[in-house]
Amino acid sequence: MLEFILSKTILIVFSLAVLIASGSLISSFYSEQEREEARIAFQRIVSVVDQSIASGTEFKIRLEMSDYLDMESVLRIGNGSMILFHEDQSFSASLPDNARLILFDGGSERAIIEVGHSDILVIERTWEDGALRTAIYIENVDASFSTASMNRSTSSKEL
């Protein structure tokens, strides 16, 4: 009887060890796949920004970051570079030296902007003082979708 219980206990312990080992193997596979997807998405964003800087025409591009970034990812643009922070990894790319970028966040000019998953990044190229200017900013979605609330406590005579 004791041998039966001991053999079953050993079998359960070894089964748990195999389950834990296979679980960590599968987890590392998925994290490597997520890392590769983040790198590819970052390269797509860099490509769009590079092409917009090299363009000789006016345009406006809106990039919904939910198509590019995970919930925990942050894209930082500024100081001549772009850096994507994804979990414990980071990817970086330099912007062209001749890029005349103006970064806006919240309506004011910034040296660095940080873009998250729920943001919309706008790249706008316009002529200003005889030269093309590239402005990169985060579109304020909350303000564009908000409506004025009605004050129902005000009497109709005052309206």
- pLDDT tens digits along 30-46: 778 888 888 999 999 99
Alpha helices in 55-147 (DSSP H): 141-145
Structure tokens at 5: 């219980």
In whole angstroms, what is the distance from residue 101 CA to residue 80 CA? 9
- Paired sense of beta strands 112-115 and 59-64, if any: unpaired
In whole angstroms, what is the distance from residue 31 CA to residue 52 CA? 32
Rg (CA), the chain: 26
Q: How many CB atoms lie within 10 A of CB 44?
A: 13
Torsion angle, alpha carbons of 137, 138, 139, 145, to 10: -160
In whole angstroms, what is the distance from residue 66 CA to residue 68 CA? 5
Are 125 and 136 in contact by the 8 Å Cβ rule? The answer is no
Q: What is the pLDDT of residue 62?
A: 92
In whole angstroms, what is the distance from residue 95 CA to residue 97 CA? 6
- Give the residue-averaged pLDDT of 138-152: 54
Q: What is the pLDDT of residue 88?
A: 84
* Residue 72 reports pLDDT greater than 50: yes
* Residue 85 reports pLDDT greater than 90: yes
* Residue 137 reports pLDDT greater than 90: no
Q: Is the dihedral of CA 113, 107, 49, 99 positive or negative?
A: negative
